[in-house]
Structure 1
């Protein structure tokens, strides 16, 4: 195969993956598990048909065509799965703690959507951010629920938290028995994050409120080990 044909081969393959990427973004495919599942299957079929076309056009160099397709396919899938922040504004991750139990369970897979620069978050959203870890010598990524929003009044009684006098957790102790108490009002662009599992969550009770600009992602949905999908 001469240089011109090699250039044409690479150009066709690049255009194929650019088109796939643009369509992936335009249709906002990761926002729906069913769209994502359909796209994954369709992408395999489209790649096979495209491969057949290339084999016909560049028949003397089938091995080279195969190598080029494999390299580009692996690179595209790697970017789609691990570098989706840059290309698609989405990311995929797994649950590795019980801090959001029973909403999120170990073994669940989560789809994260990158929060827009000026995008607000709402009470009840499950978001992702990075905070200083409990030992204070590093950082940790956490997924928590937005419990308090700007101008809310927060009252902390040991492990229990009251938002505007309403308990975040279903069961709470008598206020007269509090050993540790905090009272404050959330300032503008400050959010109070809590885990659904009251006694097993490292959250705003420990590190305080989080600024909006430090919230990185919103969790769109989860996929359980049995393939059950739950949207948030």
Structure 2
């Protein structure tokens, strides 16, 4: 009998005739590392490629579905289900197959290369989402109560330079002097004159309807409740917090440039702990 070289061996248990039984636990472990890797270990490289392709497709699908909580949740559940199915399938096939003749691709370095490709594809999708699609943020203060509670994690649609910003949008912006990101609501648009009288906000002399406010009654604090007219430039927006008594906003920061507005808040994907009630009452709530 001829003895194969050690390079032909997939595992220490590989027999000298080139036949090596598949181990269910190894197939499952490889599937945890990368979807489809367990199938490659079992000699089903076509099926493994399908699982890998499905994972990449669902990852790219985030660009389409992240604008709604339901779409995001469905995509995440589908991705988890695909990976669980790949793991179970790999373990069952390995358990049923008593003997397996090693293929040319049953090498440790091939498995490592496949795992690195899978990891790279996942990181690429994640970086693309962050750069051109969506980012998640956490509300660190109560300035937007009741729209956002302290600890709320919410999804933000990143805006391109030409994307419109509308009155009423809850946006993330970067404040250069403090080197911090803030979340506030747009109340004044470019070219408008914004003023405040006893907490009521006026844009070009017209009182705004603001049902989202936390405390709609004046508390007599002049700086917070009253403001002389401010004329906005052609690229400036006036932003205020919904919790006006506890918000550091355009009343102190001044108008915000469009270039500093980074994204629009969409929905709460993981609520912070509320003062009363269940946090899951607000799970998936749209930010309006």
TM-score band by shorter chain is 0.7 to 0.9
SS in 2 for 1:19: helix
CA distance in 2, matches of 1:140, 1:99: 15
Please tell me whether Structure 1 or Structure 2 has the larger radius of gyration of its CA atoms.
2
Pairing 1:1-232 to 2, within 5 Å after superposition = 12=49, 15-25=53-63, 28-51=64-87, 52=89, 61=106, 84-86=129-131, 89-132=133-176, 136=177, 138-156=178-196, 160=199, 162-164=201-203, 165=205, 166=207, 170-172=216-218, 181-223=227-269, 224-225=271-272, 226-227=279-280, 228-232=283-287
Q: How many residues align?
A: 219
SS in 2 for 1:117: coil
Cα offsets for 1:84-112 (capped at 9, x unmatched): 2226x011122111010111001211010
Bigger shift: residues 28-37 or 89-98: 28-37
Q: Which runs of 5+ in 1 are unaligned?
A: none
Cα offsets for 1:26-55 (capped at 9, x unmatched): xx1111212222221211221234454697
1:75 to partner: Cα distance? 6.0
SS in 1 for 2:75: helix
Q: TM-score, normalised by structure 2?
A: 0.61
Cα offsets for 1:154-174 (capped at 9, x unmatched): 1246x8462234266622367
Question: Do the aligned partners of residues 162 and 41 (structure 1) sit closer, same or farther apart at CA in structure 2, a change above 3 Å counting?
Answer: closer
Q: TM-score, normalised by structure 1?
A: 0.73
CA distance in 2, matches of 1:213, 1:174: 34
Aligned-residue Cα RMSD (Å) equals 4.0
